[in-house]
Amino acid sequence: MDYVLTTDSLSKHYKHFKALDRLTMHVPKGAIYGFIGKNGAGKTTLIRLICGLQQCTSGGYRLYGTKDTDKEISRCRRRMGAVVETPSIYPDMSAEDNIREQYRILGLPSFDDIPDLLMLVGLEGTGKKKAKNFSLGMRQRLGIAVALAGSPDFLVLDEPVNGLDPQGIIEIRELILKLNRERQITVLISSHILDELSRLATHYGFIDRGCMVKEISAQELDAACRKCTRMEVTDINVLTRMLDHMHLEYQVLSDTGADIFSAVDITALVLALAEERCSVSAIHQHDETLESYYISLLGGNRYE
C-alpha cells in the first residue's frame, strides 16, 4: 500500500511532558484519515511537526517516502495544504484577495484559477466582502481554499468543524468528500466530533497521551463494532435474571434498558418475561458507534 505519511517512533517532548511518545502511524494515499484523541492527546503537535512548524525530539516521519531529515522534505511539504488550529486568513481582505496573497507567497505565476477555487469552496459570490464579516463556516471554507492554493494532493485539517452550526458542518463535510472523491486529495482530519467523523473517514488512528493506540480501516471498524438487541422493559431485575439464566452477554444501560450482545430468541425471551409480569416496551437492533468503540478502546475514558 502507498502511504502519503508515515511516522516511525515519532516523539516530541517539552521538558518533562511527552506530547508525542514514539508515535507510529500510516496515512494511505487517497484516504480520509480520522485522527482521534482527547484534547491534549498530541493531535495538533503531530500536525505542527509534519508541517515543519516544530522539530521532533526523536524518531521521524516520511512524506511521500521522503524522510523529514532529507533536504527534499521542503519540496514535499509544498504538496501539502493545512489548516492548523484556526484558518490563516487576513480579516480585512476579501476572499479573493486572501487567496491572491497566498499565491504570491507560493510564487505562483498566475491568478487565473482563483475563481474556480472560490467556486469549489462555495465563496464565489462574496465579492469585496471582508473576511472579518464572514460567518465561522465561511471563514473555515476560506481557510481551506487558502490551503488548496498550489493544488496540493494532501490536505491536513485540524478540527475543521469545531464550533460550526449544523449547516456549516454539512458544508465542510461535503467539501471534504468532494476534494477526496473528485480531486483524489488525501485528507488527514484531527477531530473529536466522532459522529461527524464517522460520516467521512476511510481510516482511523486513535491516539492517547501521545501514543498510537490503534489504527483501523472503516471496513475493519464496521466488522469490529458489535451489533446488539436493545430492550426496554418494566423491570430490569427480571430481565437480567432471565439473561443470566440463558447465559447471554448483556450490558445494563438504565433502570429499564439493556443491550443484549448474544444471539437471542426474542419470542422465547418475551414470553419468559411475561410470565414474570415484566412487560417489554421496546425492542430494536442497535449498532455500536464510533464513540462507544473509542470509549471501550481507551478503557472508558471519554473524549473531551
16-37: per-residue pLDDT in tens?
Answer: 899 999 999 999 999 999 999 8
68-92: per-residue pLDDT in tens?
Answer: 999 999 999 999 999 988 888 999 9
Please list, in sequence order, all residues whose beta carbon lies within 8 angstroms of the beta carbon of residue 296, skipping any fewer than 6 positions away: none
Closest by CA position to 176, among listed 91, 168, 95: 168
Q: Which residue has the higher pLDDT, 162 or 115?
A: 115
Q: How far apart are CA 179 and CA 175, in angstroms?
A: 6
Q: Which residue has the higher pLDDT, 239 or 293?
A: 239
Q: Are 150 and 78 in contact (CB under 8 A)?
A: yes
Span 171-191, mean pLDDT? 94
Give the domains, in start order, of the chain with CATH numbers: 3-216 (3.40.50.300), 226-287 (3.30.70.100)
Residues in the chain: 304
Confidence label for 195 from pLDDT (cuts 50, 70 and 90): confident
Q: Are 203 and 217 in contact (CB under 8 A)?
A: yes
pLDDT in the model for residue 304: 42
* Per-residue pLDDT at 302 exceeds 50: no
